[in-house]
Amino acid sequence: MTEMNLVQAIQSALRGALREDENVLLMGEDIGALGGVFRVTQGLREEFGPDRVLDAPLSETGILGTAIGMALHGLRPVSEIQFADFIFPGFDQLVSEAAKYRYRTAGEFHVPMVVRTPYGGGIRGGQYHSQSPEALFIHTPGLKVVCPSNPYDAKGLLLDAIADDDPVLFFEPKRVYRAVKMEVPETTYRVPLGEAKVVRPGEKITCLAWGAMLYEAFAAAEEVAEQGVDVEVIDLRTLWPLDLETIVSSVKKTGRVVIVHEAPRTCGFGGELVALIVEHAFLYLEAPPVRVTGWDTPFPLTHEREYLPLAHRIVPALLETAGY
C-alpha cells in the first residue's frame, strides 16, 4: 500500500494496464512529452514508448474517431480529453458511433475504449473549463459513465473500465486531483462498475452524490448530525449502469432523499434519480425529494462559491427535508 492522490492513483492504474495488456494504449493532446495538462500521464511515454502513449493533434473528433477504429480492431485505447468542456467536438463520434456499434452489429462488434476527462469546477476555470456534462452521456444508450471520488476507487474503477468491452466515459473530479490522499495498493485490482458505496450510514435522510460533491455532502451531513439529523451518504461511483438497488434500499429505510450534483439543475442526472426513486419507493417517501445543484447558467468565473452546491447550500436542504 502506498499513499496516493487521485492523479497518482489514475497514473498507477494506467501503468498497470499498459504492463498487463499489450493491446492497451493511451492517446491524447500533450499526454506524452508533457504528461497532460494535469500531469496524469507523466513519465509513461518514457516507460512504454511513443507507440503506446501517443501525442494526438488538437482534434477531439480525431482522437475519439481514431480510438473507435482502434477498438474495433482489437486494441483497448484510453483517450484523454483535456477538459470535459472540450469533448463536444467529438460528441458525434461517441453518441452516433461508439455507443451504437454493439447494437447495429447485433453484438458482432464491440468498442472497448475508455475516455478519461477532468470535469467540474473548483479551480476557477470559468465557463470553458468547469462543466459537468455527465447527463448528456448517461442519456445515450450504449455508453457507461463513471465518476470516482477518491484515489482507491479511481484506480479500481479505471482498471475495470479498461477491461470492459463497451465504451466508458471516465469523469475525473479535478477539484480533488491533489486534495485527497489515501492508501492505495500498488498492484492492480478492480472496483466493479455499477456498484454504489455507502460512505456514511444514517437513518434519517439519504444523500446521493458523486465526484467532488461527495465531500460537500459528507461535510453537510456531519454538520447537521450535531442537530440530531442522521444522514446516510451514498457515493454513486458509477452513474450508469446505476446501482438502483442500493439507492432504493436506503430510501426505503430513511424515507427522505437529497441529491447533490454540480451540473445545472434542469435535466441534470438528479432529475432522473428523483424519477427512479419515485417509481420504486414512492410509498416509502415521507418528504418530497430535493435537489441541490448548479444553477441553470453558464459556469461563472468569479462566483464559483455561489454556483457550486457546497456544504453551506446542502445543510439547509437537509434540515428542511428532515423537518418536513
Judge whether 47 and 79 are in contact, CB under 8 Å. no
Cβ-contact 301, 271 below 8 angstroms: no
Grid coordinates belonging to 127: 465557463
User: Under a CB-based contact definition with an 8 Å cutoff, are residues 167 and 143 in contact?
Assistant: yes
CA distance 48 to 16: 11
Residues 129 and 119: their CA atoms lie apart, in Å, by: 8
Q: How many residues does the chain have?
A: 324
Ramachandran assignment for 63, one of left (phi > 0), alpha (psi -120 to 50 degrees), beta (any other): alpha
244-254 vs 269-281: helix crossing angle, rounded to 10: 60
b/e string for 40-74 if b means 16 or more Cβ within 10 A?
bbbebbeebeeebbbebeeebeebbbbbbebbbee
Clarify whether 129 is annotated catalytic: yes
Q: Are 65 and 90 in contact (CB under 8 A)?
A: yes
> H or E segment at 292?
strand 290-294
Annotated active-site residue in 110, 129, 280, 303: 129
Sheet of strand 24-28: strand arrangement: 53-55, 24-28, 76-80, 114-119, 168-173, 144-146, 238-240
Q: 23: which residues sit within 8 A by CB, 6+ positions away?
A: 74, 75, 76
Which neighbouring-strand residues pair with 158? Answer: none
Active-site residue set: 129
